[in-house]
Structure 1
């Protein structure tokens, strides 16, 4: 009779844990508190991926090839350090302390990057991006791992991720719209003033999350050496499959992020509306988050993510056919592709958290290593997109601000058709692996 009694006790404990989490989720206070730090992190990320290339090309006279090379080199170096940061984070007792220590590095780097001194060149740009991305890496890896460790159920993990990404999209909208509002017609001055808003947001967002979010589950420190610990993540087959899909999909999203301002200014000839287009895109993403979360409960995260890829392909391919003055059509594309973005933001990290919960003991410390590789792929995608797309545009004859028809057609092809092809690859790969991911990873 001991065995049935133990089973009943275990079931009762599990039921009590679920009831406790449901009661906490009903207030949404810890969920919103956890998500708050996502706002300043995304606020910091958008200028690097969208504004910095054009700022240093047009504001400081660097060539597209030089900016692309700097972004490629620094981002690859930064990406290579992420698995090491993840491994080191697993050896720390307190993820909150790691996040707090990252804040001064991130804040100082952003100030130097967006408010450079006169005559700043490629070396200054490279150094400031390195500081920004170092602080950003320490913060995001520990922030993501904390969210994966803090929830006890699949729905709880999805809520935390959705909250984080919802706040992140709000941060992106602010970062996209404020430069134009702060200094109409002067992007350099607008980005410089943006830093004075970012620094208070960073402090407030971090304070809310660090003070009001519960600690994650107790875990033992990782005792593995760095290489065995990182290798153990890569040989975990469901994680590797998910990472491959995430990689192809991420590159598809990163190419438009690096070239959108050039496309709006030179193909649509509507540079004054660039902030509005970005706001439409990210607001649509934020509005779609609850829909993707609900759909994932009905059909599973894998199938919901696949559906979002098809939506992105069907909407974004039309950007190739746009020309000067087609602003309304581009606004519709921004809304439709932005709606697909909500799934890209909420579902893959939630799937990663599900894998960790399924295949890792609560007392193990592996989340940092897994999120380190996740960040590595994220940044490698961005590095490849900027490091290859921008020099390719130069080789194809595109010049920023130019009117040559062949150059503008090359810009349209790189901006619209290359991402569609990569998104098709990601969707095909995800669909071919759906049963393996569902069965081995428990991601239905």
Structure 2
């Protein structure tokens, strides 16, 4: 297949040059090419948030599926979604090796567009509704994982320079944060203020999502920096896990992902029952995500100066300071918490952009990145699942939702929301010391 229109460049195994080549400065990709790569992050985020947030209430409240059945289906589908990612990563490597990635991405995006709409428009009711939900979720999760893992792997192969990799990641995560903010507002408005029936409202959202997804994929394949494809064969999991630097990175990444997932799980409880300001929830979340997007250029420049490891460590330090402050807040401290959202949002930019760049720098040039990002994605989803254990922990500590900021359990809520993430973050920082600094030159 031709490289210019598919965005995939091939590189043969290096041979000894006949004459020394004069050193040349790396030619940075233009901003338009980086934007073409990053834009796909927006629709991918637009699909993920409603599936996790809106689906349970939609099926239980709008469609009448029993809560127990809804919960069982969600758990089983998410378990399948988590386990399949390493297998999908290896499959993506094989597709890239054979030059068949672009058709697979088109197929996955078409399946994702159709099944995302299918999720909101079930033609069945009663006992068959649970089966429809299970089938729809498995197809949505699978198609989304294929596109997302391939997308992350592409970002690892746009360059061998950490600065360029960080630029690509910043564009990707900025678009993703924009997608999160859009997904936070648009479905809620369509289901509430628009006055449309629920099915029609979500069908409209699915149509917008499909148009953005397919348009972003077309831009990625035609105008993004090329996936610099190597001729080496696809390595198995044993070879991937034999990469000592990769193994050492997994633990700090996993611990840090838990530290991010816990406050994400508990934030609405904290705002309602610790701060006593549920009416501020939307403003707090918007501030948090906006600060994350605004901080991405800062982390990009900082990573170019001190490397992705040092910049990520500074981001972790900022997050610890923010959540230590949050743990001491109480009823009425809305202004202080707004400042916490700014600081934590800035730190979020580092957590989103820098770990994938660090991983990309640690993948040898002769190995395909899909298998690495399949394992990476599994750990991120596992961290999200484990963060749910914070709820039974709070129940054991005496917290009852809706009890208010003066109830004894609210102190436990503050400590678990603000203090527990700091412990995981500090442990991640300690483990990060064992990860070797990435090479600063282009390995190709």
Normalising by structure 2, we get a TM-score of 0.82
Determine which of 32, 52, 61 is the counterpart of 1:29.
32
Aligned partner of 2:206 in structure 1 is 195
CA deviation digits over 1:117-162, x for unaligned, max 9?
Answer: 8779876655443322211110011111112222242222221111
CA distance in 1, matches of 2:111, 2:252: 32
Tell me by how many angstroms 1:184 deviates. 4.9
Could you say which residue in structure 1 is the equivalent of 2:390?
389
User: Judging changes above 3 Å, is the alpha-carbon distance between structure 1 residues 342 and 191 closer, same or farther for their aligned structure 2 residues?
Assistant: farther
C-alpha distance in 2 between matches for 1:125 and 1:320: 38
TM superposition shift of 1:216:
1.7
Cα deviation, residue 369, structure 1: 0.7
- Counterpart position of 1:292: 299
**What is residue 377 of structure 1 aligned with on the other side?**
379
Of the three residues 416, 419, 423, the one matched with 1:417 is 419
Q: Distance in 1 between matches of 2:60 and 2:316?
A: 32
Q: Does structure 1 retain, via aligned residues, the 8 Å contact 2:160–2:361?
A: no
Measured against aligned partners, the alpha-carbon deviations of 1:203-232 in whole angstroms (never above 9, x if no partner) come to 2222222232243224337455xxxx0121
Q: Confirm or deny that 1:237 pairs with 2:253.
A: no
**Equivalent residues, number:** 416
Hey, what does 1:316 align to over in structure 2? 323
Separation (CA, whole Å) in 2 of partners of 1:295 and 1:253 = 21
1:328-362 Cα shifts (integer Å, max 9, x gaps): 22221111100001111111111111112xx232x
**Cα distance 1:422–1:109, how it changes in 2: closer, same or farther (>3 A)?**
farther
Q: CA deviation at 1:425?
A: 1.4
User: For the Cα contact (< 8 Å) 2:34–2:225, is it kept in 1?
Assistant: no
Are 2:269 and 1:258 equivalent residues in the alignment?
A: no
* 1:3 aligned residue: none
Measured after TM superposition, the shift of residue 284 of structure 1 is 0.5
Q: Is the 8 A contact 2:50 2:187 kept in 1?
A: no
2:4 paired residue number:
none
SS at match of 2:227: coil
User: Aligned to 1:136, what secondary structure does the other structure show?
Assistant: helix
For normalisation by structure 1, the TM-score amounts to: 0.82
| Structure 2 residue corresponding to 1:349, chosen from 353, 356, 378 | 356
1:247–1:54: structure 2 CA closer, same or farther, 3 Å change rule? farther
Which shows bigger deviation, 137-146 or 405-414?
Answer: 405-414
Q: 2:224 aligns with which of 201, 213, 224?
A: 213
- Between the aligned partners of 2:400 and 2:208, the Cα distance in structure 1 is 33
* Contiguous gaps of at least 5 residues in structure 2: 1-15
Matched with 1:302 is 309
Match of residue 431 from structure 2? 429
Pairing partner for 1:248 from 249, 255, 261: 255
- Residues 86/207 of structure 1: CA separation in 2 closer, same or farther (3 Å cut): same
Aligned partner of 2:154 among 146, 153, 170: 146
Following the alignment from structure 1 to structure 2, what is the Cα–Cα distance between the partners of residues 406 and 370?
A: 45
Q: Distance in 2 between matches of 1:47 and 1:262?
A: 19
Q: Which moved more, 1:157-166 or 1:243-252?
A: 157-166
Q: Secondary structure of the residue that 1:442 maps to in structure 2? A: coil
CA distance in 2, matches of 1:234, 1:53: 36
1:113–1:129 contact (8 Å) kept in structure 2? yes
RMSD, matched Cα:
3.3
Residues 305 and 344, structure 1, Cα contact 8 Å, conserved in 2: yes
SS at match of 1:91: helix
Match of 2:139 among 131, 144, 149: 131
2: distance between equivalents of 1:58 and 1:402? Answer: 24
**Contact 1:98–1:142 (Cα < 8 Å) also in 2:** no
Say if 1:208 and 1:153 are closer, same or farther in 2 by CA, change over 3 A: same
Q: Deviations over 1:174-228 (max 9, x none)?
A: 112334444557999576764343232222222222232243224337455xxxx
1:335 to 342, 355, 366: 342
Change (3 A) 1:236 1:198: same
How far apart in 2 are the matches of 1:395 and 1:97? 50
Aligned equivalents of 2:285 and 2:306: distance in 1?
A: 30
CA distance in 1 between partners of 2:375 and 2:369 (Å): 10
Aligned-partner SS, 1:217: strand
Q: Cα–Cα, structure 1 residues 309 and 262, in superposed 2: closer, same or farther, change >3 Å?
A: same
Q: Distance in 1 between matches of 2:184 and 2:410?
A: 24
Gaps of 5+ in 1: 1-5
Measure, in 2, the Cα distance between the counterparts of 1:237 and 1:80. 23
Q: Distance in 2 between matches of 1:382 and 1:98?
A: 28
Alignment partners' CA distance in 2, 1:419 and 1:193: 37
After superposition, the Cα gap between the structure-2 partners of 1:343 and 1:57, relative to the gap in structure 1 and judged at 3 Å, is farther
Q: Distance in 2 between matches of 1:354 and 1:399?
A: 45
For residues 350-383 of structure 1, the C-alpha deviation after alignment (integer angstroms, 9 at most, x for no partner) is 1111112xx232xx4x211111111111111112
Q: Distance in 2 between matches of 1:67 and 1:394?
A: 22
Instruction: Give the corresponding residue for 2:7.
Output: none
